[in-house]
Chains A and B, each alone.
Chain A
Amino acid sequence: MIQIFNLYKVYPDNHPALTDINLHIKKGDFVFATGPSGAGKTTLIKLIFCAERATRGQIIVNGINLAKIKKSGISYLRRNIGVVFQDFKLLNNRTAYENIVFALEVTGARRKEIKRKAWQVLKLVGLQNRLDATPLGLSGGEQQRIAIARAIVNNPTILLADEPTGNLDSEITQDIMELFKNINERGTTVVIATHNKNLAHQYSDKHILLEKGRVINPA
């Protein structure tokens, strides 16, 4: 599903973010990338959905070599990868329902299909009664659920999450993790970046431990 060979990422200020990374994440895996802040977790996630480009090496996602993907191909790649962030990245001037529908509309989906899929994910994240609320009217946990709903509404094969529970208390964190687990059980490969090792150990035994841009124990 995700294969990484001899990957290097050096930022323009000559700071090496990732050094010689080799990984293989299989279809249906539930993987945690852990490590202290600055270890390269976010860079790894960004490279997988093409928000950053590798300095050297290869990343193959769903059989597509990201080193060779054209700009126009990135949009289509992203429809197969859902991404969730610590700060949710929701549009505050749209309702919860509109935030989810938005991800379907930009792919040119039909209206009937949009309605059906949006309802499906709203039910999955348990927020079918909050669809008219704007993000500012929702709690942190609810906002993250909407962000997750938006990420999976296109039925992506991969779900990436960068510190998805960083802004949430421990009780809500457990709920969100259960939701990720649930999504994984439906067949989606899930990769979560977190500094919280305990959380990683609690939910999976597949860990990528990063330190100063290097993998300490490949998954």
Chain B
Amino acid sequence: MFLYRLLYFFREAFQGIKNNRFTHMVAIGTITLALLTFGIFIITVINLNQIFDDWGKRIQVIVYMDEDTSSEGIKKVKEKIINLTQTENIIYVSKERALITLKKSLHNQNGILDNLDDNPLPASFEIQLKEEYKNLQSVQAFVARVKGIDEVSDAEYGQEWLEKFSAFISMVKLVGVSIGCFLLLATIIIISNTIKLTIYSRREEIEIMKLVGATNFFIQTPFFLEGFIQGLSASLLSLGILFVSYKILISKIIIDYSLYLGYLDLIFLPQKLIIELILLGILLGLFGCAFSMGRFLKA
């Protein structure tokens, strides 16, 4: 009995899709477009995040030593910094090494350094921080601790750049979430209106079903199945289009323009998000269906 009913619901759902091909195609098209927009947005956000993460990895702290620090003192400072939990890697740059590096960076104009009686550059440490500490607050806390060491004269971390970068990331995240919410809301409104149209076009069928004594459960179930099938097909379709477009983008644009753009490793949606996007599509189909059915079943 249960199996027979289930079979009936599926048969009705497929019959409904077959008989209302055009309206179903419009509904699937609408959900596909909405999910596509949403998917493009998510991919953009993911890739931007990736790029920012990359930039974030370049954060390093430079600690300058007092002029008269002995080699014993330098060792002590190095020990202290290594023992700090934030430290990943530390490189010592002696006064001489610093001067050589400066000369190299000046290329042809390094003659201006020839008249120096004394090496004015201080010895320093270049410190890489662990991943989890590469953010503004942690870097500031680390620098404050390092500055507290006696032999250290100064420490810098590209303050201005890091502050601007952090503010930018916060703004991008805020804008991203706002656009995401707006897109989702617009998607739901468009989908429920489209499905309302498909159900409106079948109000006669619903009226007749009610007339012959069908319960609301019997009337609704095939429509919900249709909503489910619509949502599933639309999400698979949009994922397919997204994937093909992504592949084309990778093979054409990135390779052709890598000279100008540098090496860009664009990523597709991770598996978890793919599943979530499919579930979102199904939910949108079901939600739009439930939302639109309500008024037709009231009487």
Interface residues of A in 43-65 (CB under 8 A from B): 49, 51
Pair B204/A79 contact, Cβ less than 8 Å: no
Interface residues of A in 146-163 (CB under 8 A from B): 150, 154
Residue B168 at the A interface, CB < 8 A?
no
State A107–B211 Cα separation when bound (angstroms): 12
Interface residues of B in 1-40 (CB under 8 A from A): 1, 4-5, 8, 19
Residue B177 at the A interface, CB < 8 A?
no
Tell me which residues across on chain A come within 8 A of B207, comparing CB atoms. Answer: 89
Pair A75/B215 contact, Cβ less than 8 Å: yes
Pair A75/B204 contact, Cβ less than 8 Å: no
Interface residues of B in 58-99 (CB under 8 A from A): none
From DSSP, what is the main secondary structure of chain B's interface residues? Answer: helix
Pair B213/A154 contact, Cβ less than 8 Å: yes
Pair B212/A106 contact, Cβ less than 8 Å: yes
State A89–B210 Cα separation when bound (angstroms): 12
User: Most chain-A Cβ atoms within 10 A of its Cβ — which of B5, B8, B213?
Assistant: B213
Per-residue CB contact flags for chain B residues 207-229 toward chain A (1 = under 8 Å, else 0) read 11111111110110000000000
Pair A110/B215 contact, Cβ less than 8 Å: no
Of A79, A90, A110, the contact of B213 (CB 8 Å cutoff): A79
Q: How far is the CB of A139 from chain B (nearest CB, A)?
A: 20
Pair B213/A107 contact, Cβ less than 8 Å: yes
Residue A206 at the B interface, CB < 8 A?
no
Of B4, B19, B214, B218, the contact of A110 (CB 8 Å cutoff): B4
State A72–B209 Cα separation when bound (angstroms): 14
Residue B150 at the A interface, CB < 8 A?
no
Of A49, A83, A89, A106, the contact of B218 (CB 8 Å cutoff): A106
Residue B53 at the A interface, CB < 8 A?
no
Of A102, A103, A108, the contact of B5 (CB 8 Å cutoff): A108
Tell me which residues across on chain B come within 8 A of A77, comparing CB atoms. Answer: 213
Q: What are 8 A-B contacts with C-beta separation under 8 Å?
A: A49-B211, A78-B212, A79-B212, A79-B213, A91-B208, A102-B212, A106-B218, A110-B4
List the interface of chain A (C-beta within 8 A of B).
49, 51, 72, 75-79, 83, 89-91, 93, 102-103, 105-108, 110-111, 150, 154
List the interface of chain B (C-beta within 8 A of A).
1, 4-5, 8, 19, 204-205, 207-216, 218-219, 299
